Structure 1
Amino acid sequence: MGAAAGFRSSLTLVRKACGACRECDVRHQALCAAMADDDLHRLEGIMSPTALQPNQTLLRQGDPCRKVYSLTSGMLRLFTDLPDGRRQITGFLLPGDYLGLVDDHVHSQSAEAVVASQLCSFPIRQIELLMGEFPSLRDRLHRMTRAALRQAHDSQLMLGRLAPLEKLAGFLLMLDARANRQPRGGRALQLAMSRTDIADHLGLTIETVSRCFTRLKMQGLIRLPDAHLVEILHEDRLADIAGIGIQPEQLRSTAC
C-alpha cells in the first residue's frame, strides 16, 4: 500500500471513530465534551476502550495511577478495604463520570463494575500533554474534579446523619440528581446496585435499608416498580427527611 493510500485509510478510520464519539450517549457530559468535533480525533488517538463484566475489577487500592478513565455506560462501585476485612463503599460512578486524576501516585480506593460497563481509558501523561494544548480540556477536567469534590462533601454530610431514613433519602436525591443531570421528566431512577451495596455505602444493615425503602413507599414519597427502579414522587418532602436544607434543583447544580 502506497503512502497516500495508507494516509487515506488512516483518515477514514479517524473519521469513523470520531463519528462514533459524536453519537456517544455521554458525548456532552464526559471528558470529551471539552473537545470540538474536529478535534475529537486527538483525544481518541490516545484512547483505549475497556469493557467490564459485572463485579469485574478495574483497579485495586494501592495500584499505581497510570490512566484516566471515563465511564460511558454501566456503573462502577468505589470502595476501600478496612483493616478488619470489611469494605466501605465510598461511592458509585455513573456514565459521564471519570476516575483517576484525584490521587497522586497510587489509587486510594478500588473500583469494580456493578453491571456490565464500558469505559474509555487515557494515559495520564498524554492527557496532561493534551491539556497543555487544549485549555478547554484542562478547564473541563478541573470542573469535573471540583464537582467530584462537592459530591464527596455532600456524601460526608449524608453519612453523618444519625437516622437511617435520612441517609437513604439523601442518597436517593443525590443519585437522582447525578443520574438525570437535568430536571426530572417522570423517569424512574435506576438502581443498578444491590441493597447490599447501598447498605455498605450508607453504613447500615441490608435489613435496615429494606425497611427504609418500605417506609418511604408507605409514606407515598417513592414508588418501587421493581427492586432496581425507584420513582421519586415528592422531592421536596424527601429533601425535608434528608435534612439537606436545599431544594432538589440545587442538588442538580452540583452535577457536572
Structure 2
Amino acid sequence: MAVVHQFGRANAATPSKGDACVLGGNRAFGRMRVYQPGHTLFAQGESCAGVYILNTGIVGLRRSDEHGNCALVSLSGPGELVGYRAFLASDFHSNTAEALTPCRVLFIQSSDLRRWLAESPPVRDYFIHKALSDLNRAQTMCAGLLTESLKSRFIKLLLRIGDMSPAQRADQPFLVEVPVQRKDIAALLGAAPGSLSRLLSDLEEEGLIVIDGRWIDFSGAARAMDFVASPSCVEGMPRSEILAFLIEARLALLSMIDARDAATREALNVTVQTASRRLDAKLSRVSDGAVREAHTFRCVWDMFKTTRQTEIIPAVFSGRMDRAREIATGVQGERLATMKEILMSTK
C-alpha cells in the first residue's frame, strides 16, 4: 500500500484501510484519509497541497489573528469541499481545518486537480458554483447578524449541524449532537459567550430546548418558531436554496461521469446524495397548498431523482460513461430546465 503524505504533522490523517491510494490510469489521483476529532487537515499559513472532499464527518475552519486569538468561523459537512479557496487562488490557507468528528476525506493533489479542471468543463463549473454558493451563504450570514434574532440564528445553526451529522435520526430531526464547545457556538453566531449562555438558560426555562451533555433537543423551539411548516423562504418557497442544492447535485453528478477513479466518484456521489437530501428537507417544509408550483416541482424532481439513482449512477459505477452522459444530458437536461423554470417563476 502506498504511503500517504503526512504534511509533517504528528496528528495527520491515517490511511483508510484498503483504499489509501487510488490509481487513476498509471498514477495516484485520489487518496482517502481518516481524521480523528482534533486532528488537522491543514493549518493556517500553509501552502495549498490540494483539495479535500468530505465523505463523512464535520470539519471546522478556525482562524487566528496576530495576537493569538482563535475563533471557529465555519463548518463543513459530508459532500462539501474544503481548502478549495487557497487552491483556486494558488495561495496559502487562511484558516486551519480541524476534524470535529471522525472524518473520512478524499484528498486530491493540486497538480492532479488542475489537470482535471483543464480537461473537464463540468468540474470547472462545479468549482465556480461552489465558490459563488459559499459567497452567497457568507453574505446571508452577515445580513442575518443585522436582521435576525440570536434565537433564530441559533436554531438555524442547530438545523445545519443536524443536517451534517451521521447520527441524525429521521424520527427525531430536532435532536442533534453538537461537536463543539459553547464558545465555538457563540463565535459561529457572532455573539458574546455570555449572550449565548443567557439564551440557552431562557430556552431551557421556557421548555423550548433540552440539553443533555452535547445533545440538544430543540423540537419545542423549532415548532414555536414555525421552522417545521414555514422556513425562511422567498414568497412561500425557499427557491434560491432549492436551486442551489439542485445545481450542486447536478454539477457533482456531471463531475462523477468525468472522474477518473473510483474514490473520486464515490466522494462526488456523497455530494450528490447530500445535496439531494437537503433539497428534500427544504421541500418537506413547503406545503402544496401554500405554493401552487410546489406539487409540480415535486413530481418532476421525483422523476429526476429516480432516473439518476436507477440509471445514471449505476451506469457510472459500471463504467458505462457514454450511457450515463447520454441520459444526463438528454431527458434529465429537459427535466432540469423545467425545474429551473418553476423556481424562477415562483411568486
- TM value normalised by structure 1: 0.67
- Can you give the 5+ residue segments of structure 1 that lack an aligned partner in the other structure? 1-15, 22-39
Residues 72 and 66 from structure 1, CA distance in 2 versus in 1: closer, same or farther, beyond 3 angstroms? same
Corresponding residue SS for 1:46? strand
Q: Match for 1:228: what amino acid?
A: W
Which stretch of the first structure deviates more once superposed, 144-153 or 101-110?
144-153
Match of 2:128 in 1: 142
C-alpha RMSD of the superposition: 3.5
- Matching residue within 200, 210, 215 for 2:202: 215
Residues 45 and 232 from structure 1, CA distance in 2 versus in 1: closer, same or farther, beyond 3 angstroms? farther
Deviation at 1:68, TM superposition (A): 0.5
Q: Which has the higher contact order (CA 8 A, sep 6+)?
A: 1
Q: Match for 1:119: what amino acid?
A: V
Q: Does 1:120 align with 2:103?
A: no
Residues 217 and 249 from structure 1, CA distance in 2 versus in 1: closer, same or farther, beyond 3 angstroms? farther
Match of 2:39 in 1: 56
Residues 225 and 54 from structure 1, CA distance in 2 versus in 1: closer, same or farther, beyond 3 angstroms? same
Corresponding residue SS for 1:78? strand
Corresponding residue SS for 1:54? coil
Deviation at 1:112, TM superposition (A): 1.0
Given that residues 193 and 228 in structure 1 are in contact (C-alpha distance below 8 angstroms), is that contact kept between their aligned partners in structure 2? no
Deviation at 1:212, TM superposition (A): 1.8
CA distance in 1: counterparts of 2:161 and 2:225, whole angstroms:
13
Percentage identity across paired residues of the two chains? 20
The total of aligned residue pairs comes to 213
CA distance in 2: counterparts of 1:235 and 1:249, whole angstroms:
18
Deviations 1:206-243 (A, max 9, x none): 44323323433555555546533434456475378xxx
CA distance in 2: counterparts of 1:70 and 1:232, whole angstroms:
31
Given that residues 59 and 97 in structure 2 are in contact (C-alpha distance below 8 angstroms), is that contact kept between their aligned partners in structure 1? yes
Deviation at 1:81, TM superposition (A): 0.6
Corresponding residue SS for 2:85? coil
Deviation at 1:191, TM superposition (A): 2.1
Deviations 1:9-47 (A, max 9, x none): xxxxxxx96xxx9xxxxxxxxxxxxxxxxxx957x9511
Q: Match for 2:104: what amino acid?
A: Q
- TM value normalised by structure 2: 0.51
CA distance in 1: counterparts of 2:38 and 2:233, whole angstroms:
35
Match of 2:52 in 1: 69
Given that residues 168 and 212 in structure 1 are in contact (C-alpha distance below 8 angstroms), is that contact kept between their aligned partners in structure 2? no
- Matching residue within 92, 95, 109 for 1:109: 95
CA distance in 2: counterparts of 1:45 and 1:169, whole angstroms:
43
Given that residues 36 and 102 in structure 2 are in contact (C-alpha distance below 8 angstroms), is that contact kept between their aligned partners in structure 1? yes
Deviation at 1:92, TM superposition (A): 0.7
Q: Match for 1:149: what amino acid?
A: L
Q: Does 1:203 align with 2:222?
A: no
Residues 234 and 252 from structure 1, CA distance in 2 versus in 1: closer, same or farther, beyond 3 angstroms? farther
CA distance in 1: counterparts of 2:133 and 2:226, whole angstroms:
20
